[in-house]
Chains A and B, each alone.
Chain A
Amino acid sequence: MSLLFKSRQSGAQQHQIGLLQKLLMFFTSHFRQCIASFGEIIRTPLASVMTIAVLGLSITLPGTLYVLVKNLNNISADTQQAAEISVFLKQQASDADIQQLIKRIRTWPEIESLTFVSADDALEEFRRLSGFGDAVDYLDSNPLPNVLLVYPSDKFGTPATAKTLLDKLIQEREVESGKLDIEWLERLHAILAIANELVTMIALLLFIAVILIVGNTIRLNIFNKRSEILVMKLVGATDSFIQRPFLYTGFWYGFLGGIMAWITIAILLWWMSSNIEDILALYNQDFDLAGMSFSTLMSMLGISIFMGLAGSAISVSRYVSQIEPR
C-alpha cells in the first residue's frame, strides 16, 4: 500500500493473489517470526532462563498448594465418619418396629449404610471398655437406648446435607433423637475454604508480580534492540510489525515456564508424597496424591502463556512507540 503514490504497488499486491494465498502468507510470516523468536531464546539462554524460571516457579507454588488442597478436599469428601449420624430410638419401640424402620430407611438414596447397636450390646461394650463394669451391675434396667449408626452416601456427606438427613430421620416415629458429629467436619471445611482462598490470593499476587517481571525482561530486550528498531522504523516498519517478535518472545517465555511448572510440580509431589503418606499411615489414613488432571495441566499452561503475553504486551505497547529515529 502506498499512501502517497496511487500507482505504486508493494509486496503483497505485486501479483494478483487470492485471499486464501494472502492468508497463507500472513500465517507463514507469523510462523516464521514465532520460530525466529524461539531461536533467539535458544541462542541467548541466560537472560531467558531466569525469566522462564520465575514464570515456572510462580506457577509451581500455587499449583502445588492447589494439589494439596484438592487432596484434602477429597479426604473430607471420602471420610464417611465425618458425617456419621447417631440415631437414638425410643425405649418403647419394639424389636419388630426397629426391624421395620431399618427396612424402610435402608432404601433412602441419602444413606450409604447403617449399623444397629442394640441397648444390650451398648451396655456390654460399656461394661468392657469403661472400667465401671461393677457399677453397671447395680442398675435395675439398661439406661441406654437402642442406637442406629447411619452413614450418609458420598453426595450427602457434607455438613449441610447430613444435617438435612438428620432432620428427616428425626421425623420417623421410632426415633427419639439424633446426633450429628459434624463439628470437626465443619471446621475442616472452613479451613479448606480459607486454604482455597489463600491459594487463590497467593496465585493472584504472584501472577501480578510475574507479569511485571516478564514486562521488565521484555523492556530490556526492547532497549537492547534499540538500534535495530530505529533502523527498522527508518525503512518503514510499523509499530505492530516491530512489536510482534517481542510478543512471540513473551509467548515462548510463558510456554516454557508452564512446561517447567509441570515438571517441578511433578517432582515436588513425588517428593512430598512419601513423607505425607508416612505421617498419614499413623492415622490409618490413605492419602493418594491425585496427579493433575489434563484440564488442570492445560489451564496451568494457558495461565503461564497468558502471563508471558500480558507482560510482553505491556512493555511493547509502552516502549516500542517511544523509540523514534531523530
Chain B
Amino acid sequence: MIKFEEVSKTYPGGHLALSKVNFHVAPGEMVFLTGHSGAGKSTLLKLISLMERPSVGRVYINGHDLSRITRRDVAYVRRDIGMIFQNHQLLMDKTVFDNVALPLVIEGYSRKQIYARVHAALDRVGLLHKQNNPPATLSGGEQQRVGIARAVVNRPPIILADEPTGNLDPALSLEIIRLFEAFNKAGASVFIATHDLGLIARMHYRTLTLKGGQMINDGLTETPGVQA
C-alpha cells in the first residue's frame, strides 16, 4: 500500500531529515512510526501526503510512483488519504458539522450524501450531539475526534496521523487509538507517528523506529500490551 525505496530528504539549507529509508506497509495494516522529536517522523508522513517531495528515492502508493504526480493532481491524491494532525487543523469559525463535511463538499457530494456521511462519521467518534458547536467550545480530546471524523468521512483507504495523541492524557490517548483500530478493522491502512513510547508499548502493532533520519528498527514492539 505504502512503499519507500531508498528515500532521502534534504531540506533546503542542507539538513538531512531522512536518509535511505526503506519499508513497505501492506494494505489493511496498522503501523506505528516512532522516534525522538526531530527524528524525521513528520517528514516521512509529508512525503506520503505530498506536502514534501523526496530528494532521492521513490515513494509508492498502491503501486503508483508519487514522483509522477503533478502539482495539479496532488489534491486528488490527498482525497485518498485521511490526515490527522496534532494541532487538529480545524476551522475555528465553522461548526463541527461544517468541518467534517469539508472533504465531501470539495469532492462534490450531494447535500443528502453529505448529511448522511457526516452524521455517520460524527456518530463513530461519539460527537453527534456537538455537531452544531464551533470547535473552540470542545475539549482537546473532542477536537481531535472531530479531526478524525473529518479524516475518515470520505472513507479513504489510507489514514495518516501525526502525533494524534500529543496533547492528551493516557486514557484519552488510548480512546483515540481504539478509534484508529476500528477504522483499521474496517479496511483502512493506518499509519500513526508518535513519540509516546508508553502508548505503543501497550499495543501489539508493527512499529517503525526512526533515529536521526535513519530507520533503525522495523518490527513488533517487544513488550506485550497492557490492555486498558
Contact = CB atoms under 8 A, between A and B. Distances in A.
B109 A11 contact: yes
A130 interface: no
Interface stretch (A56-64, A70-78, A229-237, A272-280): A229-237
B81 to A, nearest CB: 8
A239 B72 CA distance: 8
Interface string A1-35: 11111001011101000000000010001000000
A325 B51 contact: yes
A101 B103 CA distance: 88
B77 to A, nearest CB: 6
B77 A235 contact: no
Contacts of A5: 62, 80, 157
A235 B73 contact: no
Contact of A236 (B89, B90, B106): B106
Contacts of B186: none
| Interface range, B side | 20 to 34
Candidate in A5, A234, A237, A326 with the most chain B CB atoms within 10 angstroms = A234
A10 B104 CA distance: 9
B102 A231 contact: yes
Interface in B108-127: 108-110, 113
B80 A241 contact: no
A2 B107 contact: no
B75 A4 contact: no
B69 interface: yes
Nearest to A7: B157
Interface residues of A, number: 28
Contacts of B102: 231-232, 235
A12 B154 CA distance: 13
B69 A3 contact: yes
Contact of B108 (A29, A230, A232): A29
Given A3-B64, A11-B109, A236 B79 contact: yes
A270 B150 CA distance: 58
Candidate in A12, A236, A325 with the most chain B CB atoms within 10 angstroms = A236
A234 B64 contact: no
A228 interface: yes
Interface of B: 46, 49, 51-52, 61-62, 64, 69, 72-73, 75-80, 83, 89-91, 102-104, 106-110, 113, 150, 154, 157
Interface of A: 1-5, 8, 10-12, 14, 25, 29, 227-228, 230-239, 241, 324-326
